[in-house]
Amino acid sequence: MNPKYPEVNVKLIGEDGNAFSILGSVKRAMQREGVSKEECDKFMEDATVGDYNHLLQTVMEWVTVDSDDEEDGEDRYDESYDEDDEIEEDE
């Protein structure tokens, strides 16, 4: 699926999953890329007429959603942690 504004990139993984936070992130990204106020308003109207799943689908229809959590080249999983390691507690 090709979004309406492919040049607008929004990272959702690892971010707050709150609907209002997502709306704000997308709107700010659109504004940064020079999308008109009228188009931003259309996005907001379209994204808020349904449930959370509709919101996510609308976001993907309008902008590019970065889903790669290794975007900076570093794995977020700390391989040095072993679940058998004991955690030292301060006394």
Report the alpha-carbon distance of residue 54 to residue 59 in Å, rounded: 9
Q: Is 37 exposed, middle or buried (0-12, 13-18, 19+ CB in 10 A)?
A: exposed
Q: What is the pLDDT of residue 85?
A: 46
Retrieve residue 40's tokens: 């931003």
Query: Rounded to two decimals, what is the model's pTM?
Result: 0.71
pLDDT digits (tens, 9 = 90+) for 6-29: 999 999 887 778 999 999 999 999
> How does pLDDT run across 26-48, given as a tens digit for each residue?
999 999 999 999 999 999 999 99
Copy the structure tokens of residue 20: 């209002």
